[in-house]
Amino acid sequence: MLMAFDTEPETDDDVLIRRFAAGDQNAARALTVRLSPGVLALARRMLRNEAEAEDVAQEAMLRLWKMAKDWEPGRAKVSTWLYRVTQNLCTDRLRRKTTSNMDDVPEPVDESPGAADQMQTKSRAEALTTAMADLPERQRTALHLRHFEDLSNIEIADIMDISVEAVESLTGRAKRGLADKLLKHKDRLGFTS
């Protein structure tokens, strides 16, 4: 493993950004370990394609490096800014894909089994991932940021540029959608509690 742990867990992102801007590569390493997993996870969730997710996450991190010298501490959280950039990059990519594919490319035939059928053979986590992939993009993003990145509704609202109430609505709908798809099969999921 190249680097498994955040070597400076006590150091604020703001401080690390300033150190990176001054030429400190250890700060870059700490920020990479700390921030890139969440960025990549969000991109994976939105794009559902590993190679594209890595491209977007790398681009988001590159933008972080480039803006480091102009970063104003206290104006925003670095992680919030980064998630927002990632979300926008993903949205752009999804939009381009939709536009370019809509007219001339036939819908691919999805021969994979649906979420319910997969439950017997795949793990619960995989079933959840499949069910989440079927959610509308904004619901999926909001739910991911809330439950996988542990962000507050206020932070999510900032990232998605919507109201806190809209975040609550999106996550509520997302959870209802997941529950409807998954929990009626909880015996098949092996979920007993």
Partner 1 sequence: MTKPDPLTPEEEIALRALLDEARSQEAAPSDAFLARVLEDAAQVAADNAVVRDTPTEAGALGLLDRLGRMFRGFGGLPGASVMTASVLFGLAFGYTGPDSLFELTGFSDAAGVVSELDTEMDVFDTASFDFGGGDLLQ
Q: Contact positions toward partner 1, by CB under 8 A? A: 1-3, 20-21, 23, 25, 28-29, 32-33, 36-37, 40-41, 54, 57-58, 61-62, 65-66, 68-69, 123-125, 127-129, 147-148, 169, 172-173, 175-179, 182-183, 186, 189, 191, 193
Round to whole Å and give the CA distance between 37 and 149: 10
Nearer CB in complex with partner 1: 96/176: 176
Q: At closest approach, how far in Å is the CB of 181 from partner 1?
A: 10
Q: At closest approach, how far in Å is the CB of 102 from partner 1?
A: 25
Give the chain's largest Cα–Cα span. 56
Q: At closest approach, how far in Å is the CB of 52 from partner 1?
A: 13
Which residues have C-beta within 8 Å of that of residue 32, sequence separation ≥ 6?
Answer: 3, 61
Nearer CB in complex with partner 1: 38/93: 38
The distance of Cα 190 from the centroid of its chain, to the nearest Å, equals 27
Q: Count CB-CB contacts under 10 A for residue 189.
A: 18
Nearer CB in complex with partner 1: 160/170: 170
Round to whole Å and give the CA distance between 88 and 108: 26
Nearer CB in complex with partner 1: 66/75: 66
Q: At closest approach, how far in Å is the CB of 124 from partner 1?
A: 6
